[in-house]
Structure 1
Amino acid sequence: MTVSPDRTIPFSIAFEDVVANIEQVIRGKQAAVELAVVCLFAEGHLLVEDVPGLGKTTLARCLAASVNAGCHRVQFTPDLLPADITGTNVFNQRTGEFRFRPGPVFANLVIGDEINRASPKTQSALLEVMEERHVTVDGTRYPVPLPYMVIATQNPVDMDGTYALPEAQLDRFLMRLRIGYPTLDAELEILEGRQVGRRVEDLRPVMRAEDVVTHAERTLGIHVAPEMRRYIVRVVAATRTRHDVVRLGASPRGSVALLRAAQVRAASAGRTFVTPDDVQILAGPVLAHRLVLSPEAELRRVSAEDVVAEVLDSVPSPRRLVGA
């Protein structure tokens, strides 16, 4: 499969092309793959969290390999410094001047492998570039190329040698995914696929960087009715009122992220409008990682995903309001 030069290709077809390309390697995880591609076209950042060996980095690499764009990978370690990520000014002895040497964040797709193995100080080096798409070094701003996406992987924070990501950084990820163990049939397909050459290295890009930007802009035109916008706001606001289990609810950035992801999902289905189903399917991946739970929640073994599910059950959707 080659990169299509036709920018008039329908978004739903372009979306399916990227999903199908990734699924040549990632088997039996269609929902996770589709959510990752939604995140790409929503111009957001993706956090993939799960135990080792389930394909977190492979998913990130497959997504990067599907787009013909610049890609850098950063292996996060405890001794990594902020300047190792953003870049630094280097003195040129011939000219007698300092010259900026860009770090690995200057790429269209940045893979942060095991991001929570670095110290919180190093993790925070991504805060500015993830939100504002530029890096400031010694008072000078350096823009990163567009499209721009950080795809980070992390092991559960209760594993040895890991640090919890700062809340401010978690909030900058549009979505968090968990891959989970494959079914027996899917795991068998993985083994068979490696024998016939279905590896990340064998993938070919199906889209150019500029096409990602074009399609992302088109999804901005997906209609979101006033009642749907109110529904999104009510769902997000409801996460802030569960004081028995939630210490910090989702921010307005969560509302924006949920709306953008819903627009992309609607477009991927060939629709020109957002439905309550779009919001309900995406609410968990978009909102759960933004919640800070109380000690009471941990004692009761209530997860952030449980809270989001309860919120969706308690907030009437537009179809219920009209008696549908």
Structure 2
Amino acid sequence: MLLTRKIYMTSSSFLRKMTLFELFVSVLTMLQLYHFCILFSNQGFPMPLLYGPLFWAMYQFLSGKSRAVIKRDFAVGNFPFAFFVVWYWMKGDNLDWNYFQWYLPVMILGQIGYPLAILYRLKGVESKGKGFVLLKQLMALGMGIFLFVGAVFLHHYLQVDVLMGIDPIHAIAVAMVFSVFMLLNYMYALWDSTEREIVEMPAEPELLITVDDELVEYCDSELTRAMEEERLFLDAKLTLDKLSTYIGISKNIISQYLHSQLGLNYYEWLAAYRIDYAKEILSEFGSEYKIEAVARASGFSSKTTFNRYFKERVGVLPSVYREQASFT
């Protein structure tokens, strides 16, 4: 029973924590698994044309672009895929060289163009976040796959065997296995961090005390004073026990007050103050500080937790909010 509850809590928190980047990672993983299954039997389906726009969307998200821009560029980038899919379906079993002589150059252009553009733009990026590391690894691997795709191209067009008998399809398959492994490892790390957060999060006390109007008013005034005047929320180690001792009110009463009056648990309520403070920093001095620095200055102990609560409360990631604030 406890294991089932733990899995449910981890899954719920994991899904809430997922950003658009993790969604793209999930889609890319499923596409590559499917592509691997059909790689040896159906080399004409234009699956590779999907990867470039996905990579570009991942880069745009990490760079703080708006969802509207990401969706627009993703739709435009997938036009070649849509075109060749229609051609592929129209030809059916009668796929001929006329199809491949147009498809292969476009595929190769996408295989080399997107990785080169993304690696060039990431060259001066200081962030060492896991998302940037994963994207750089995928782009480097993509460049390797390009060499084998180019070998296929040379073999078909010029009848040149540059790999000396090595089947390029087998090499591409091996590269795809590495790619899927990196993607799954990234998602597992996210799941593991979510699971550890839940394990480390202390359970709130049971709500057994009835809070009357007078106690509600007193609790409200003391909590407001502690947060708005004393700014205790800036303490990254502020636990419910510590807050209870500071203001002299039972932690059961505090929890009951937050639940009944505000509809929040202690961590959600505390995060709200920290997020509001972080918004002030991002609006006034956002360009001067890294997101990690803003998170710690606001009382969060990790960037991951900061991003999750910020997106839940504001609707966008801190990096996107900072970019939007710079134009207002």
Report the TM-score range of the alignment, normalised by the length of the smaller protein.
under 0.3
Q: Which has the higher contact order (CA 8 A, sep 6+)?
A: 1
Structure with greater proportional strand content = 1
TM-score, normalisation: structure 1: 0.21
TM-score, normalisation: structure 2: 0.20
Bigger-Rg structure (1/2): 2
